[in-house]
Structure 1
Protein backbone atom coordinates (compact mmCIF):
# COMPACT_ATOMS: atom_id res chain seq x y z
CA UNK A 1 0.00 0.00 0.00
CA UNK A 2 1.30 3.43 -0.93
CA UNK A 3 0.69 5.68 2.07
CA UNK A 4 -0.23 9.32 1.80
CA UNK A 5 2.56 11.46 3.27
CA UNK A 6 0.31 13.51 5.52
CA UNK A 7 -1.80 10.84 7.22
CA UNK A 8 -5.41 10.63 6.13
CA UNK A 9 -6.35 11.99 2.72
CA UNK A 10 -8.39 15.15 3.09
CA UNK A 11 -10.32 16.88 0.32
CA UNK A 12 -11.20 20.45 1.26
CA UNK A 13 -13.47 23.07 -0.27
CA UNK A 14 -12.02 25.18 -3.06
CA UNK A 15 -9.67 27.89 -1.80
CA UNK A 16 -9.77 31.08 -3.91
CA UNK A 17 -6.10 31.65 -2.98
CA UNK A 18 -4.97 28.63 -5.03
CA UNK A 19 -4.56 30.58 -8.31
CA UNK A 20 -2.42 33.18 -6.48
CA UNK A 21 -0.28 30.46 -4.91
CA UNK A 22 0.18 28.96 -8.37
CA UNK A 23 1.12 32.33 -9.91
CA UNK A 24 3.72 32.95 -7.20
CA UNK A 25 5.25 29.52 -7.70
CA UNK A 26 5.14 29.81 -11.48
CA UNK A 27 7.20 33.01 -11.25
CA UNK A 28 9.77 31.32 -8.99
CA UNK A 29 10.05 28.32 -11.31
CA UNK A 30 10.30 30.46 -14.45
CA UNK A 31 13.07 32.50 -12.84
CA UNK A 32 14.96 29.40 -11.65
CA UNK A 33 14.72 27.54 -14.96
CA UNK A 34 14.91 30.47 -17.38
CA UNK A 35 14.78 29.36 -21.00
CA UNK A 36 14.43 25.69 -20.00
CA UNK A 37 10.82 26.30 -18.92
CA UNK A 38 8.85 26.52 -22.15
CA UNK A 39 5.55 26.76 -20.25
CA UNK A 40 4.25 26.45 -16.70
CA UNK A 41 0.60 25.38 -16.36
CA UNK A 42 -1.66 25.07 -13.34
CA UNK A 43 -3.29 21.63 -13.54
CA UNK A 44 -5.09 19.31 -11.18
CA UNK A 45 -8.12 20.10 -9.07
CA UNK A 46 -6.74 23.29 -7.53
CA UNK A 47 -6.76 24.74 -11.08
CA UNK A 48 -10.54 24.37 -11.41
CA UNK A 49 -12.51 27.18 -9.70
CA UNK A 50 -14.97 25.79 -7.18
CA UNK A 51 -13.60 22.23 -7.24
CA UNK A 52 -12.78 20.71 -3.83
CA UNK A 53 -9.30 19.23 -3.69
CA UNK A 54 -6.43 17.97 -1.66
CA UNK A 55 -4.69 21.30 -0.95
CA UNK A 56 -1.76 20.61 -3.28
CA UNK A 57 -0.93 22.95 -6.17
CA UNK A 58 -0.02 20.90 -9.27
CA UNK A 59 2.35 22.59 -11.69
CA UNK A 60 3.11 21.29 -15.16
CA UNK A 61 6.43 22.49 -16.57
CA UNK A 62 7.20 22.01 -20.24
CA UNK A 63 10.79 21.45 -21.33
CA UNK A 64 12.38 20.96 -24.74
CA UNK A 65 14.10 17.73 -23.71
CA UNK A 66 13.46 15.56 -20.67
CA UNK A 67 17.01 14.21 -20.84
CA UNK A 68 18.41 17.73 -20.75
CA UNK A 69 16.01 18.62 -17.92
CA UNK A 70 17.36 15.68 -15.89
CA UNK A 71 20.83 17.16 -16.22
CA UNK A 72 20.06 20.87 -15.89
CA UNK A 73 16.77 21.44 -14.07
CA UNK A 74 16.74 19.12 -11.04
CA UNK A 75 19.19 21.20 -8.99
CA UNK A 76 17.48 24.59 -9.59
CA UNK A 77 14.09 23.07 -8.74
CA UNK A 78 15.48 21.49 -5.59
CA UNK A 79 16.91 24.89 -4.64
CA UNK A 80 13.29 26.11 -4.50
CA UNK A 81 12.51 23.56 -1.79
CA UNK A 82 11.24 20.73 -3.97
CA UNK A 83 12.21 17.10 -3.48
CA UNK A 84 12.90 15.12 -6.63
CA UNK A 85 11.20 11.70 -6.52
CA UNK A 86 13.00 9.65 -9.21
CA UNK A 87 11.24 6.40 -8.24
CA UNK A 88 7.99 7.85 -9.61
CA UNK A 89 9.43 7.41 -13.12
CA UNK A 90 8.24 3.78 -12.97
CA UNK A 91 4.67 5.01 -12.40
CA UNK A 92 4.77 8.15 -14.58
CA UNK A 93 7.32 7.54 -17.36
CA UNK A 94 8.43 10.47 -19.46
CA UNK A 95 8.17 12.85 -16.52
CA UNK A 96 10.27 14.22 -13.69
CA UNK A 97 8.23 14.47 -10.49
CA UNK A 98 8.91 16.73 -7.52
CA UNK A 99 7.00 17.57 -4.37
CA UNK A 100 7.31 20.41 -1.93
CA UNK A 101 6.22 20.98 1.61
CA UNK A 102 7.07 19.53 4.96
CA UNK A 103 7.39 15.75 4.82
CA UNK A 104 3.64 15.64 4.50
CA UNK A 105 1.45 17.42 4.00
CA UNK A 106 2.80 18.32 0.59
CA UNK A 107 1.86 21.76 -0.70
CA UNK A 108 3.01 21.47 -4.33
CA UNK A 109 3.56 18.78 -6.95
CA UNK A 110 5.70 19.66 -9.94
CA UNK A 111 5.54 17.60 -13.14
CA UNK A 112 8.28 18.25 -15.71
CA UNK A 113 7.81 16.83 -19.20
CA UNK A 114 7.97 17.63 -22.87
CA UNK A 115 4.73 19.29 -24.10
CA UNK A 116 4.58 16.63 -26.84
CA UNK A 117 4.11 13.92 -24.17
CA UNK A 118 0.52 12.56 -24.30
CA UNK A 119 0.10 13.15 -20.56
CA UNK A 120 0.60 16.90 -21.07
CA UNK A 121 -2.39 17.13 -23.37
CA UNK A 122 -4.47 14.86 -21.10
CA UNK A 123 -3.82 16.99 -18.00
CA UNK A 124 -4.59 20.24 -19.78
CA UNK A 125 -7.72 19.10 -21.62
CA UNK A 126 -9.12 17.47 -18.46
CA UNK A 127 -8.60 20.73 -16.55
CA UNK A 128 -10.15 22.82 -19.32
CA UNK A 129 -13.17 20.52 -19.58
CA UNK A 130 -13.86 20.67 -15.84
CA UNK A 131 -13.55 24.46 -15.93
CA UNK A 132 -16.14 24.62 -18.73
CA UNK A 133 -18.48 21.91 -17.41
CA UNK A 134 -19.50 22.53 -13.78
CA UNK A 135 -21.66 19.39 -13.71
CA UNK A 136 -18.60 17.25 -14.48
CA UNK A 137 -16.61 19.10 -11.83
CA UNK A 138 -19.38 18.44 -9.27
CA UNK A 139 -19.41 14.73 -10.15
CA UNK A 140 -15.63 14.63 -9.77
CA UNK A 141 -15.88 16.39 -6.41
CA UNK A 142 -18.34 13.76 -5.19
CA UNK A 143 -16.01 10.95 -6.25
CA UNK A 144 -13.00 12.61 -4.62
CA UNK A 145 -14.79 13.17 -1.31
CA UNK A 146 -16.10 9.60 -1.22
CA UNK A 147 -12.68 8.18 -2.02
CA UNK A 148 -10.93 10.39 0.54
CA UNK A 149 -13.33 9.15 3.23
CA UNK A 150 -12.92 5.48 2.29
CA UNK A 151 -9.21 5.43 1.39
CA UNK A 152 -7.96 6.82 4.72
CA UNK A 153 -4.19 7.10 4.00
CA UNK A 154 -3.99 4.76 0.98
CA UNK A 155 -3.14 7.21 -1.81
CA UNK A 156 -2.99 4.36 -4.35
CA UNK A 157 -6.61 3.42 -3.64
CA UNK A 158 -7.63 7.08 -3.84
CA UNK A 159 -5.82 7.62 -7.15
CA UNK A 160 -7.02 4.31 -8.65
CA UNK A 161 -10.59 5.03 -7.58
CA UNK A 162 -10.57 8.15 -9.76
CA UNK A 163 -9.13 6.43 -12.84
CA UNK A 164 -12.37 5.46 -14.60
CA UNK A 165 -13.87 8.93 -14.16
CA UNK A 166 -10.67 10.66 -15.29
CA UNK A 167 -10.31 8.45 -18.37
CA UNK A 168 -13.97 8.81 -19.39
CA UNK A 169 -13.93 12.55 -18.80
CA UNK A 170 -10.66 13.00 -20.67
CA UNK A 171 -12.20 11.22 -23.67
CA UNK A 172 -15.23 13.56 -23.48
CA UNK A 173 -12.85 16.50 -23.12
CA UNK A 174 -10.94 15.56 -26.25
CA UNK A 175 -14.19 15.27 -28.22
CA UNK A 176 -15.37 18.60 -26.75
CA UNK A 177 -12.13 20.32 -27.73
CA UNK A 178 -12.25 18.89 -31.27
CA UNK A 179 -15.88 20.04 -31.64
CA UNK A 180 -15.11 23.54 -30.37
CA UNK A 181 -12.15 23.83 -32.76
CA UNK A 182 -14.34 22.86 -35.70
CA UNK A 183 -16.74 25.75 -35.08
Structure 2
Protein backbone atom coordinates (compact mmCIF):
# COMPACT_ATOMS: atom_id res chain seq x y z
CA UNK A 1 0.00 0.00 0.00
CA UNK A 2 1.33 3.45 -0.93
CA UNK A 3 0.80 6.54 1.21
CA UNK A 4 0.03 9.55 -0.96
CA UNK A 5 0.92 12.91 0.55
CA UNK A 6 -0.14 16.20 -0.98
CA UNK A 7 1.55 19.54 -0.50
CA UNK A 8 -0.45 21.93 1.66
CA UNK A 9 -3.58 23.09 -0.15
CA UNK A 10 -5.07 26.48 0.79
CA UNK A 11 -8.46 24.96 -0.05
CA UNK A 12 -8.36 22.69 3.01
CA UNK A 13 -9.54 25.34 5.52
CA UNK A 14 -12.49 26.02 3.22
CA UNK A 15 -13.39 22.33 3.20
CA UNK A 16 -13.26 22.32 6.99
CA UNK A 17 -15.46 25.42 7.12
CA UNK A 18 -18.05 23.75 4.90
CA UNK A 19 -18.15 20.73 7.21
CA UNK A 20 -18.27 22.97 10.29
CA UNK A 21 -21.39 24.68 8.94
CA UNK A 22 -22.96 21.29 8.20
CA UNK A 23 -22.18 19.87 11.67
CA UNK A 24 -23.35 22.99 13.51
CA UNK A 25 -26.60 22.97 11.54
CA UNK A 26 -27.16 19.43 12.80
CA UNK A 27 -25.83 20.06 16.33
CA UNK A 28 -26.19 23.77 17.20
CA UNK A 29 -23.57 24.95 19.68
CA UNK A 30 -21.35 21.91 19.20
CA UNK A 31 -17.66 22.11 20.14
CA UNK A 32 -15.82 21.44 16.88
CA UNK A 33 -12.19 21.90 15.80
CA UNK A 34 -10.10 21.37 12.67
CA UNK A 35 -7.22 19.05 13.66
CA UNK A 36 -4.71 16.83 11.90
CA UNK A 37 -2.17 17.82 9.27
CA UNK A 38 -4.64 19.61 6.97
CA UNK A 39 -5.19 22.11 9.81
CA UNK A 40 -1.53 23.25 9.77
CA UNK A 41 -0.66 25.76 7.02
CA UNK A 42 2.44 24.71 5.10
CA UNK A 43 2.33 21.05 6.19
CA UNK A 44 2.05 18.22 3.68
CA UNK A 45 -0.77 15.79 4.38
CA UNK A 46 -3.01 13.08 3.10
CA UNK A 47 -5.94 15.05 1.60
CA UNK A 48 -8.24 14.04 4.47
CA UNK A 49 -9.99 16.63 6.62
CA UNK A 50 -9.92 15.67 10.32
CA UNK A 51 -12.54 17.26 12.53
CA UNK A 52 -12.82 16.79 16.30
CA UNK A 53 -16.24 16.92 17.94
CA UNK A 54 -16.47 17.07 21.74
CA UNK A 55 -19.67 15.74 23.33
CA UNK A 56 -20.73 14.95 26.90
CA UNK A 57 -20.91 11.21 26.32
CA UNK A 58 -19.87 9.52 23.04
CA UNK A 59 -21.49 6.29 24.22
CA UNK A 60 -24.85 8.08 24.16
CA UNK A 61 -25.02 7.99 20.38
CA UNK A 62 -28.72 8.88 20.40
CA UNK A 63 -27.74 12.39 21.52
CA UNK A 64 -25.74 13.19 18.37
CA UNK A 65 -25.54 10.39 15.77
CA UNK A 66 -29.09 10.61 14.34
CA UNK A 67 -28.68 14.35 13.72
CA UNK A 68 -25.35 13.75 11.99
CA UNK A 69 -26.76 10.87 9.96
CA UNK A 70 -29.53 13.16 8.76
CA UNK A 71 -26.77 15.50 7.55
CA UNK A 72 -25.14 12.66 5.60
CA UNK A 73 -22.56 11.31 8.05
CA UNK A 74 -22.23 7.64 9.01
CA UNK A 75 -20.50 5.92 11.92
CA UNK A 76 -17.39 4.09 10.69
CA UNK A 77 -15.47 3.30 13.89
CA UNK A 78 -16.41 2.64 17.52
CA UNK A 79 -13.66 2.31 20.15
CA UNK A 80 -15.43 1.98 23.49
CA UNK A 81 -12.23 1.05 25.32
CA UNK A 82 -10.16 3.94 23.91
CA UNK A 83 -11.61 7.20 25.24
CA UNK A 84 -15.07 6.15 23.94
CA UNK A 85 -13.79 7.34 20.54
CA UNK A 86 -16.06 7.38 17.51
CA UNK A 87 -15.24 8.20 13.87
CA UNK A 88 -17.89 9.29 11.38
CA UNK A 89 -17.29 9.67 7.66
CA UNK A 90 -18.49 12.70 5.75
CA UNK A 91 -21.08 12.59 2.98
CA UNK A 92 -19.25 14.18 0.05
CA UNK A 93 -15.74 15.09 1.20
CA UNK A 94 -12.94 12.86 2.50
CA UNK A 95 -13.62 13.59 6.16
CA UNK A 96 -12.95 11.87 9.48
CA UNK A 97 -15.12 13.31 12.24
CA UNK A 98 -13.54 12.19 15.52
CA UNK A 99 -15.79 12.23 18.59
CA UNK A 100 -14.33 12.42 22.10
CA UNK A 101 -15.87 13.06 25.51
CA UNK A 102 -15.62 16.38 27.31
CA UNK A 103 -12.63 16.31 29.65
CA UNK A 104 -10.75 13.69 27.61
CA UNK A 105 -7.00 14.26 27.54
CA UNK A 106 -7.00 13.48 23.82
CA UNK A 107 -8.78 16.79 23.19
CA UNK A 108 -5.94 18.91 24.53
CA UNK A 109 -3.38 16.57 22.92
CA UNK A 110 -4.82 17.16 19.43
CA UNK A 111 -5.17 20.92 19.89
CA UNK A 112 -1.72 21.37 21.41
CA UNK A 113 -0.06 19.37 18.63
CA UNK A 114 -1.87 21.41 15.97
CA UNK A 115 -1.12 24.77 17.58
CA UNK A 116 2.52 23.86 18.26
CA UNK A 117 3.10 22.90 14.62
CA UNK A 118 1.39 26.08 13.44
CA UNK A 119 3.76 28.19 15.52
CA UNK A 120 7.04 26.25 15.32
CA UNK A 121 8.57 25.99 11.85
CA UNK A 122 11.38 23.67 12.98
CA UNK A 123 9.07 20.99 14.36
CA UNK A 124 6.68 21.46 11.45
CA UNK A 125 9.52 20.68 9.03
CA UNK A 126 10.72 17.78 11.19
CA UNK A 127 7.23 16.28 11.06
CA UNK A 128 6.90 16.91 7.31
CA UNK A 129 10.27 15.33 6.50
CA UNK A 130 9.44 12.30 8.66
CA UNK A 131 6.11 11.86 6.90
CA UNK A 132 7.71 12.12 3.47
CA UNK A 133 10.41 9.56 4.32
CA UNK A 134 7.88 7.11 5.69
CA UNK A 135 5.42 7.67 2.84
CA UNK A 136 8.13 6.59 0.40
CA UNK A 137 8.06 3.07 1.87
CA UNK A 138 5.46 0.37 1.10
CA UNK A 139 3.04 -0.41 3.96
CA UNK A 140 0.62 -3.27 4.50
CA UNK A 141 -1.83 -0.96 6.28
CA UNK A 142 -2.27 2.78 6.70
CA UNK A 143 -2.19 2.20 10.47
CA UNK A 144 1.37 0.84 10.17
CA UNK A 145 2.43 4.16 8.61
CA UNK A 146 0.65 6.04 11.41
CA UNK A 147 2.37 3.91 14.05
CA UNK A 148 5.76 4.53 12.45
CA UNK A 149 5.32 8.28 12.90
CA UNK A 150 4.67 7.88 16.60
CA UNK A 151 8.23 8.40 17.85
CA UNK A 152 8.51 11.81 16.17
CA UNK A 153 4.98 12.78 17.23
CA UNK A 154 5.87 12.00 20.85
CA UNK A 155 9.13 13.94 20.57
CA UNK A 156 7.26 17.01 19.31
CA UNK A 157 4.44 16.65 21.82
CA UNK A 158 6.89 16.40 24.69
CA UNK A 159 8.36 19.77 23.74
CA UNK A 160 4.88 21.23 23.38
CA UNK A 161 3.63 19.98 26.76
CA UNK A 162 6.73 21.15 28.60
CA UNK A 163 6.56 24.58 26.92
CA UNK A 164 2.80 24.97 27.51
CA UNK A 165 2.02 23.43 30.92
CA UNK A 166 -1.41 23.69 32.48
CA UNK A 167 -0.84 26.02 35.42
CA UNK A 168 -2.58 24.78 38.58
CA UNK A 169 -3.27 28.31 39.77
CA UNK A 170 -3.45 29.52 43.34
CA UNK A 171 -3.59 26.89 46.07
CA UNK A 172 -5.71 27.67 49.12
CA UNK A 173 -4.41 25.76 52.14
CA UNK A 174 -7.21 25.05 54.57
CA UNK A 175 -5.74 23.16 57.52
CA UNK A 176 -1.99 23.06 56.91
CA UNK A 177 0.81 25.40 55.97
CA UNK A 178 2.19 25.14 52.42
CA UNK A 179 4.70 22.34 51.65
CA UNK A 180 7.99 22.73 53.46
CA UNK A 181 11.44 21.20 53.46
CA UNK A 182 11.37 17.44 54.00
CA UNK A 183 13.52 14.50 52.91
CA UNK A 184 12.23 12.25 50.13
CA UNK A 185 12.30 8.67 51.39
CA UNK A 186 11.42 5.91 48.93
CA UNK A 187 10.60 2.36 49.92
CA UNK A 188 10.50 -0.79 47.84
CA UNK A 189 6.98 -1.76 46.84
CA UNK A 190 5.02 -3.15 49.76
CA UNK A 191 2.05 -5.49 49.05
CA UNK A 192 0.41 -4.01 52.16
CA UNK A 193 -0.23 -0.80 50.21
CA UNK A 194 -3.00 -2.46 48.22
CA UNK A 195 -4.63 -3.59 51.48
CA UNK A 196 -4.32 -0.09 52.93
CA UNK A 197 -6.05 1.30 49.85
CA UNK A 198 -8.84 -1.30 50.07
CA UNK A 199 -9.54 -0.26 53.65
CA UNK A 200 -9.69 3.42 52.67
CA UNK A 201 -11.96 2.71 49.70
CA UNK A 202 -14.40 0.87 51.95
CA UNK A 203 -14.35 3.78 54.41
CA UNK A 204 -15.00 6.34 51.63
CA UNK A 205 -17.86 4.35 50.11
CA UNK A 206 -19.47 3.84 53.52
CA UNK A 207 -19.23 7.57 54.24
CA UNK A 208 -20.48 8.87 50.90
CA UNK A 209 -22.74 6.19 49.46
CA UNK A 210 -24.21 7.32 46.15
CA UNK A 211 -22.07 10.47 46.12
CA UNK A 212 -19.19 8.25 44.92
CA UNK A 213 -19.04 8.31 41.13
CA UNK A 214 -15.67 6.56 41.04
CA UNK A 215 -12.82 5.77 43.41
CA UNK A 216 -9.40 4.50 42.31
CA UNK A 217 -5.98 3.77 43.76
CA UNK A 218 -3.47 5.97 41.89
CA UNK A 219 0.09 7.16 42.35
CA UNK A 220 3.18 5.02 42.79
CA UNK A 221 1.79 2.84 45.60
CA UNK A 222 -0.85 1.60 43.12
CA UNK A 223 1.78 0.08 40.79
CA UNK A 224 3.12 -3.35 41.84
CA UNK A 225 6.90 -3.46 41.78
CA UNK A 226 7.40 0.32 41.91
CA UNK A 227 9.29 2.03 44.74
CA UNK A 228 7.34 4.84 46.37
CA UNK A 229 6.90 7.11 49.34
CA UNK A 230 4.53 5.19 51.66
CA UNK A 231 1.68 7.56 50.83
CA UNK A 232 -1.61 6.22 49.46
CA UNK A 233 -2.97 8.45 46.68
CA UNK A 234 -6.69 7.99 46.07
CA UNK A 235 -8.72 9.45 43.23
CA UNK A 236 -12.31 10.23 44.21
CA UNK A 237 -14.85 11.41 41.66
CA UNK A 238 -18.01 13.06 42.99
CA UNK A 239 -20.83 14.76 41.07
CA UNK A 240 -19.43 18.25 41.81
CA UNK A 241 -16.13 18.69 43.61
CA UNK A 242 -16.90 22.39 44.21
CA UNK A 243 -19.96 21.42 46.29
CA UNK A 244 -18.01 20.65 49.45
CA UNK A 245 -21.12 20.40 51.61
CA UNK A 246 -22.11 17.29 49.66
CA UNK A 247 -19.05 15.25 50.65
CA UNK A 248 -16.56 16.99 52.98
CA UNK A 249 -18.54 16.72 56.26
CA UNK A 250 -19.08 12.99 55.77
CA UNK A 251 -15.39 12.46 55.01
CA UNK A 252 -14.37 14.53 58.04
CA UNK A 253 -16.63 12.34 60.17
CA UNK A 254 -14.82 9.32 58.68
CA UNK A 255 -11.44 10.66 59.82
CA UNK A 256 -10.20 12.82 56.94
CA UNK A 257 -9.57 16.55 56.97
CA UNK A 258 -9.69 19.07 54.13
CA UNK A 259 -6.18 20.19 53.30
CA UNK A 260 -6.39 22.36 50.17
CA UNK A 261 -8.50 23.75 47.36
CA UNK A 262 -7.45 24.56 43.80
CA UNK A 263 -10.50 26.38 42.47
CA UNK A 264 -8.97 27.32 39.12
CA UNK A 265 -7.51 23.85 38.42
CA UNK A 266 -10.44 21.50 37.82
CA UNK A 267 -11.95 22.50 41.23
CA UNK A 268 -9.47 20.05 42.74
CA UNK A 269 -9.66 19.30 46.47
CA UNK A 270 -7.26 17.29 48.63
CA UNK A 271 -8.25 15.69 51.90
CA UNK A 272 -5.75 14.02 54.20
CA UNK A 273 -5.91 10.80 56.12
CA UNK A 274 -3.22 10.01 58.67
CA UNK A 275 -3.43 6.29 59.49
CA UNK A 276 -2.27 5.33 56.90
CA UNK A 277 -0.90 8.48 55.26
CA UNK A 278 -3.42 9.31 52.51
CA UNK A 279 -3.88 12.02 49.89
CA UNK A 280 -7.49 11.92 48.73
CA UNK A 281 -7.78 13.83 45.43
CA UNK A 282 -11.33 14.91 44.62
CA UNK A 283 -12.48 15.83 41.11
CA UNK A 284 -15.73 16.15 39.18
CA UNK A 285 -16.52 13.82 36.26
CA UNK A 286 -15.27 14.56 32.73
CA UNK A 287 -12.00 16.10 33.92
CA UNK A 288 -8.80 15.82 31.89
CA UNK A 289 -6.70 15.11 34.96
CA UNK A 290 -8.67 11.93 35.65
CA UNK A 291 -7.77 10.65 32.20
CA UNK A 292 -4.10 11.51 32.69
CA UNK A 293 -3.74 10.01 36.18
CA UNK A 294 -5.37 6.73 35.22
CA UNK A 295 -3.48 6.49 31.92
CA UNK A 296 -0.18 7.00 33.78
CA UNK A 297 -1.00 4.33 36.37
CA UNK A 298 -2.16 1.80 33.81
CA UNK A 299 0.86 2.39 31.56
CA UNK A 300 3.25 1.76 34.48
CA UNK A 301 1.37 -1.38 35.48
CA UNK A 302 1.49 -2.82 31.96
CA UNK A 303 4.92 -1.72 30.68
CA UNK A 304 7.95 -2.78 32.79
CA UNK A 305 10.35 -0.63 30.76
CA UNK A 306 8.43 2.55 31.64
CA UNK A 307 8.05 1.46 35.26
CA UNK A 308 11.80 0.84 35.55
CA UNK A 309 12.67 4.16 33.90
CA UNK A 310 10.32 6.02 36.24
CA UNK A 311 11.81 4.27 39.28
CA UNK A 312 15.38 5.11 38.21
CA UNK A 313 14.35 8.74 37.85
CA UNK A 314 12.69 8.76 41.27
CA UNK A 315 15.66 7.18 43.02
CA UNK A 316 18.13 9.56 41.37
CA UNK A 317 16.05 12.61 42.32
CA UNK A 318 15.35 11.35 45.84
CA UNK A 319 19.09 11.30 46.45
CA UNK A 320 19.28 15.08 46.05
CA UNK A 321 18.54 17.78 48.60
CA UNK A 322 15.28 19.62 47.97
CA UNK A 323 13.94 22.83 49.46
CA UNK A 324 10.40 21.46 49.20
CA UNK A 325 8.93 18.03 48.49
CA UNK A 326 6.97 19.74 45.69
CA UNK A 327 10.27 20.59 43.98
CA UNK A 328 11.07 16.88 43.86
CA UNK A 329 7.65 16.22 42.31
CA UNK A 330 8.15 19.00 39.75
CA UNK A 331 11.55 17.58 38.76
CA UNK A 332 9.85 14.36 37.64
CA UNK A 333 7.63 16.24 35.19
CA UNK A 334 9.59 15.47 32.04
CA UNK A 335 9.61 11.70 32.46
CA UNK A 336 6.01 11.68 33.71
CA UNK A 337 4.79 13.63 30.67
CA UNK A 338 6.68 11.33 28.32
CA UNK A 339 5.05 8.25 29.85
CA UNK A 340 1.57 9.84 29.81
CA UNK A 341 1.99 10.78 26.16
CA UNK A 342 2.87 7.18 25.31
CA UNK A 343 -0.14 6.02 27.31
CA UNK A 344 -2.50 8.39 25.51
CA UNK A 345 -1.09 7.61 22.06
Into which bin does the TM-score normalised by the smaller protein fall? 0.7 to 0.9
Matches within 5 A, 1:125-140: 125-140=112-127
Distance 1:153 1:76 in 2: 35
Kept after mapping to 1: 8 A contact 2:36/2:49: yes
Q: Which of 67, 70, 89 is equivalent to 1:76? A: 67
> Deviation at 1:101?
5.8
> Deviation at 1:91?
7.5
1:113-153 residue CA offsets vs partner (Å, 9 max, x unmatched): 12310111100000010001011111111111122221346
RMSD value, Cα: 2.4
1:49-82 residue CA offsets vs partner (Å, 9 max, x unmatched): 00000000100111122233x1221122223332
Larger Rg belongs to = 2
Give the direction of change, closer, same or farther, for the CA distance of 1:179–1:33 in structure 2 (3 Å limit). closer
More deviation, 49-58/109-118: 109-118
Q: Which residue of 2 aligns with 1:3?
A: none
Q: Which residue of 2 aligns with 1:97?
A: 87
Taking structure 1 as the reference length, the TM-score comes to 0.82
Indicate yes or no: 2:2 matched with 1:8.
yes
Q: Which residue of 2 aligns with 1:28?
A: 22
Kept after mapping to 2: 8 A contact 1:9/1:153: no
> Deviation at 1:98?
1.3
Give the direction of change, closer, same or farther, for the CA distance of 1:145–1:79 in structure 2 (3 Å limit). farther
Indicate yes or no: 2:40 matched with 1:53.
no
Q: Which of 161, 166, 169 is equivalent to 2:156? A: 169
More deviation, 47-56/164-173: 164-173
Distance 1:59 1:109 in 2: 6
Give the direction of change, closer, same or farther, for the CA distance of 1:114–1:93 in structure 2 (3 Å limit). closer
Indicate yes or no: 2:79 matched with 1:85.
no
Q: Which of 132, 154, 169 is equivalent to 2:141? A: 154
> Deviation at 1:92?
4.0
> Secondary structure of the equivalent of 1:85?
strand
- Structure with greater proportional helix content: 1
- Structure with greater proportional strand content: 2
Give the direction of change, closer, same or farther, for the CA distance of 1:133–1:85 in structure 2 (3 Å limit). same
> Deviation at 1:100?
2.8
Taking structure 2 as the reference length, the TM-score comes to 0.45
Give the direction of change, closer, same or farther, for the CA distance of 1:139–1:175 in structure 2 (3 Å limit). same
Distance 1:118 1:127 in 2: 15
The structure showing larger relative contact order (alpha-carbon pairs under 8 Å, at least 6 residues apart) is: 1
Give the direction of change, closer, same or farther, for the CA distance of 1:91–1:132 in structure 2 (3 Å limit). farther
Give aligned pairs, total: 169
